[in-house]
């Protein structure tokens, strides 16, 4: 394969007068096996939309799972999706904006204007350095930045432009910048008290299914005191206080389009130690990414097909019924459905496609329980068996109808050394592909062997279940890991 490829959603987006470069249709990149290899591949994603769970989003997501160097990255797409997130990244640039735009200029009375940036290049020479810095912060090929003057000049919005919507003049600018960009080597951007440290634990007292129950949170606070760490339970309203702490531990169900991701991003931008870190949230909350990542590294998983509208009719020729159909970012058994025939498959897929352009279909593997291995910093902490809810095929059985609640199966906890070695070994292999955070790996032990179901970035740690073997020592080990990370940051 070529050293780099350019992805377009519609082949007509790459005009006839554009240079002859390796242009690939997005649907081919997602579906054809030849694009699942090539670790040195450079991918330029020029799809028509980057919205969450769109085809353009999935192109960047799977490119990262395949270890292709892609722009824009999924992280950039999510950063650009909401001003509340990317505003963290432009705070430091506003002073530069004022220095450049605040100078008196004859005849210039506007209070707002837009600047188009193509691969870090712009038309206005006096704004070129700012354009470069914005491209370093948001490595998206085509950007539009809006500036507003409200007392002083500042960046108001940053958003991605798309190839198919460019004017002829913009197209020429794009081609010039593209030629310059492809000729360069691709680079990643350079990205109190008597207590030793202050650790914030983000939780939501009103969450129906939190990853840690109230008793567990109190044990964390107690473990903190024993390790000379001041632990404070914080909530969404405490976002503005994050900089007061040295570290953040998220004990609330995470999501890309949720404020937990914003907290993680903010903590990282402040130089804090954070679990779950933003990259782990990105990697773990999308099952399509996980499936690609695990298969690429030969981690055994259930037979899986990535479902698009154009291959839905063929799914049951690859996987027999019953089929498990999943939305990419469900949690706690939500967004997971079992279909028993083609009519149910088409009906359920039609409903789920309203939220995501891609779905997952998996073979149905019934077992009485799932294994869960809790892993912190590449070391297994606990092993649990989660049994299926009574008269149901999942651990959690969500009652039909809004506000009906859920039923949960029983659990049994083991010492790591007493759990099947093959289960722990497979869990470690899967978790190590994500990073060195705190993960819960779900596995099934079948007659054909052990398969990994998923890796969770925000695993349950409840008093009376996961801590049943190690008890208070479990909480202490997690707090000590934060201390170790903080000591390393300070060079101790």
Q: What is the CATH number of the domain that holds 244?
A: 3.40.50.20
Poorest-pLDDT segment among 214-223, 322-331, 357-366, 378-387: 322-331
Residue 232 has pLDDT above 80, yes or no: yes
More confident site: 21 or 217: 217
Q: Is 230 helix (H, G, I), strand (E, B) or coil?
A: strand
Is residue 235 situated within a structural domain?
Answer: yes
Of residues 370, 360, 361, the one with CA closest to residue 393:
370
Residue 126 has pLDDT above 60, yes or no: yes
Residue 329 contacts by C-beta under 8 Å, 6 or more apart in sequence?
53, 255, 256, 285, 286, 287, 335, 356
Beta bridge partners of 375: 380, 439
**Using N-to-C axis directions, what is the helix angle for 55-65 and 74-81, rounded to 10°?**
140
Domain final residue, candidates 158, 182, 206: 182
- pLDDT score at 29: 93
How many whole angstroms separate alpha carbon 474 and alpha carbon 460? 13
- Specify whether 210 is located in the same domain as 279: yes
Poorest-pLDDT segment among 36-40, 231-235, 306-310: 36-40
Poorest-pLDDT segment among 39-43, 47-51, 88-92, 446-450: 88-92
- Specify whether 60 is located in the same domain as 82: no
How many whole angstroms separate alpha carbon 362 and alpha carbon 187? 37
Instruction: Indicate the number of domains in the chain.
Output: 4
Q: Of 121-125, 251-255, 481-485, which one has max mean pLDDT?
A: 481-485
Is residue 335 situated within a structural domain?
Answer: no
Helices (H), 147-258: 168-182, 214-226
**At which residue do the structure tokens 């070529």 appear?**
2
Structural domain boundaries, residue 131: 78-182
- Under a CB-based contact definition with an 8 Å cutoff, are residues 89 and 138 in contact? yes
Give the strand pairing for 359-363 and 411-414. Answer: unpaired
Residue 333 has pLDDT above 50, yes or no: no
- Specify whether 208 is located in the same domain as 246: yes
Is residue 218 situated within a structural domain?
Answer: yes
Poorest-pLDDT segment among 20-29, 194-203, 233-242, 267-276: 233-242
DSSP strands (E only) in 124-272:
142-150, 152-160, 197-202, 229-234, 247-250
- Specify whether 8 is located in the same domain as 23: yes
- Specify whether 146 is located in the same domain as 102: yes
Is residue 293 situated within a structural domain?
Answer: no
- pLDDT score at 244: 85
Residue 448 has pLDDT above 80, yes or no: yes
Residue 260 has pLDDT above 90, yes or no: yes
Q: How confident is the model at residue 89 (pLDDT cuts 50, 70, 90)?
A: low
Residue 4, token pair as written in the block: 């780099």
Residue 156 has pLDDT above 90, yes or no: no
Is residue 471 situated within a structural domain?
Answer: no
- Specify whether 389 is located in the same domain as 432: yes
- Specify whether 393 is located in the same domain as 427: yes
**At which residue do the structure tokens 């593209």 appear?**
178
- pLDDT score at 87: 56
Max CA distance (Å), the chain: 79
Of residues 369, 379, 321, the one with CA closest to residue 348:
321
Q: How confident is the model at residue 393 (pLDDT cuts 50, 70, 90)?
A: very low
What is the average pLDDT value for the chain, to the nearest integer? 86
Is residue 466 situated within a structural domain?
Answer: no
- Specify whether 114 is located in the same domain as 147: yes
- Specify whether 67 is located in the same domain as 85: no
Residue 385 has pLDDT above 90, yes or no: yes
How many whole angstroms separate alpha carbon 322 and alpha carbon 32? 26
Is residue 290 situated within a structural domain?
Answer: no
- pLDDT score at 189: 44
Residue 188 has pLDDT above 80, yes or no: no
- pLDDT score at 226: 94
- Under a CB-based contact definition with an 8 Å cutoff, are residues 127 and 100 in contact? yes
Residue 415, token pair as written in the block: 């010492």
- Specify whether 84 is located in the same domain as 61: no
- Specify whether 172 is located in the same domain as 220: no
Is residue 124 situated within a structural domain?
Answer: yes
- Specify whether 136 is located in the same domain as 88: yes
Poorest-pLDDT segment among 39-43, 455-459, 476-480: 39-43
More confident site: 175 or 188: 175
């Amino acid at each position: 394969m070529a050293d780099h490829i350019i992805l377009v959603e519609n082949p007509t987006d790459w005009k006839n007068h554009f240079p002859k470069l390796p242009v690939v249709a997005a649907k081919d990149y997602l579906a054809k096996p030849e694009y699942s290899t090539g670790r040195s591949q450079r991918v330029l994603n020029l799809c028509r939309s980057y919205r969450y769970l769109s085809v353009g989003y999935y192109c960047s997501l799977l490119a990262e799972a395949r270890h292709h160097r892609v722009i824009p990255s999924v992280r950039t797409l999510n950063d650009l999706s909401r001003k509340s997130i990317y505003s963290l990244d432009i705070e430091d640039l506003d002073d530069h904006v004022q220095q450049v735009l605040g100078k008196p200029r004859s005849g210039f009375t506007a209070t707002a204007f837009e600047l188009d940036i193509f691969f870090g290049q712009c038309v206005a020479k006096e704004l070129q350095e700012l354009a470069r810095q914005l491209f370093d912060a948001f490595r998206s090929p085509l950007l539009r930045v809006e500036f507003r003057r409200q007392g002083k000049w500042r960046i108001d919005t940053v958003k991605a432009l798309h190839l198919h919507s460019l004017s002829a003049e913009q197209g020429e600018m794009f081609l010039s910048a593209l030629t310059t960009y492809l000729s360069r080597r691709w680079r990643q951007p350079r990205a109190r008290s008597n207590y030793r440290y202050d650790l914030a634990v983000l939780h939501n007292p009103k969450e129906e299914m939190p990853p840690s129950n109230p008793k567990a949170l109190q044990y964390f606070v107690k473990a903190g005191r024993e390790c000379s760490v001041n632990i404070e339970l914080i909530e969404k309203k405490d976002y503005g206080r994050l900089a007061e702490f040295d570290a953040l531990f998220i004990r609330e169900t995470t999501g890309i389009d949720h404020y937990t991701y914003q907290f993680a991003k903010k903590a990282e931008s402040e130089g804090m130690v954070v679990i779950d870190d933003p990259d782990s949230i990105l990697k773990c909350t999308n099952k399509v990414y996980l499936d690609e990542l695990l298969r690429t590294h030969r981690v055994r998983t259930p037979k899986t097909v990535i479902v698009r509208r154009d291959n839905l009719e063929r799914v049951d020729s690859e996987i027999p019924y019953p089929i498990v159909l999943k939305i990419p970012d469900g949690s706690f058994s939500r967004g997971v459905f079992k279909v028993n025939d083609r009519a149910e498959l088409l009906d359920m897929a039609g409903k789920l496609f309203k939220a995501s352009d891609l779905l997952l279909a998996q073979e149905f593997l019934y077992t009485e329980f799932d294994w869960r291995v809790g892993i912190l910093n590449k070391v297994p902490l606990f092993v649990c068996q989660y049994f299926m809810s009574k008269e149901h095929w999942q651990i959690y059985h969500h009652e039909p109808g809004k506000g009906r609640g859920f039923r949960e199966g029983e659990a049994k906890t083991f010492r790591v050394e007493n759990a099947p070695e093959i289960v722990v070994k497979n869990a470690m292999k899967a978790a190590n592909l994500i990073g060195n955070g705190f993960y819960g790996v779900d596995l099934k032990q079948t007659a054909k062997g052990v398969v990994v179901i998923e890796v969770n970035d925000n695993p349950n740690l409840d008093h009376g279940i996961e801590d049943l073997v190690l008890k208070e020592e479990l909480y202490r080990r997690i707090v000590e890991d934060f201390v170790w990370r903080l000591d390393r940051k300070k060079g101790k």
